[in-house]
Chains A and B, each alone.
Chain A
């Protein structure tokens, strides 16, 4: 089973709203990732969690706030977003040790529209 699930599939929000994206995996992976993907562009890494601790923050604006409450769950809290933040937000997970086993498996994404 290589399934990563994400909710919601679609989200429309205003610039003053607060919302959260959720990601879940039950593969026993201890690394989880958030990516942002604009149309016809590659995924861009935002955050990496390893053993529930934030390992990488790619200089992401503070209006995006990640949270990893346990080894299976990853959230992305959104507040005061801008229209240019509209994109597909992808979650991924992997094992932590180096080599083939740390292939990242992606969820289906949340398509976010900020009005």
Chain B
């Protein structure tokens, strides 16, 4: 199966910047998604990358390097409400929009 690796836990301070890394296997790659999930709630869509480079959306940005099998999610001006799990998900080629999720990174934002 696809191996998607991301750190298990991270901590950061309110107002700071944090970068969550994700690596994946390049074979069969057809897009990379980031989702946010608060405990006990549904994942909510944050960003999508299929070409190399940076996608910026307000306080959140996501970067992709297809040759390196690498992505990161950058969160700026952290707020307490950003404490959540962040899931990296690779879409596989093959036509059925199948997502394989990483285990998620639990981010704790402290005052």
Q: Which residues of A contact B (CB under 8 A)?
A: 2, 4, 31, 40-45, 48, 50, 55-56, 88, 90, 94, 96, 98-100, 102-109, 111
CB neighbours of A108 from chain B (8 A): 41-42
Question: What class of interface size applies to chain B in its complex with A?
Answer: 20 to 34
Q: Is the CB of A106 within 8 A of B44?
A: yes
CB neighbours of A90 from chain B (8 A): 42-43
CA distance A86 to B21 in the complex (A): 31
Q: Is the CB of A109 within 8 A of B42?
A: yes
CB neighbours of A31 from chain B (8 A): 97
Most buried by B among A90, A104, A108, A111: A104
- Mark contacts of B21-52 with chain A using CB atoms, 8 A cut-off: 1 yes-contact digit, 0 otherwise: 00000000010010100001111110010100
Q: Is the CB of B45 within 8 A of A103?
A: yes
Known: A45-B99, A100-B50. 6 other contacts (CB 8 A): A41-B103, A42-B104, A100-B48, A104-B97, A105-B45, A106-B43
Any A CB within 8 A of the CB of B87: yes
Any A CB within 8 A of the CB of B70: no
B30 to chain A, nearest CB (A): 8
The 8 A-B pairs with the shortest beta carbon distances in the complex, nearest first, are A42-B101, A106-B42, A108-B42, A106-B43, A102-B97, A55-B96, A103-B45, A56-B96
CA distance A41 to B103 in the complex (A): 6
CA distance A70 to B89 in the complex (A): 28
Q: Is the CB of B97 within 8 A of A94?
A: yes
The residue on B at minimum CB distance from A41 is B103
CB neighbours of B44 from chain A (8 A): 106
B88 to chain A, nearest CB (A): 9
Most buried by A among B42, B45, B104: B42
The residue on B at minimum CB distance from A103 is B45
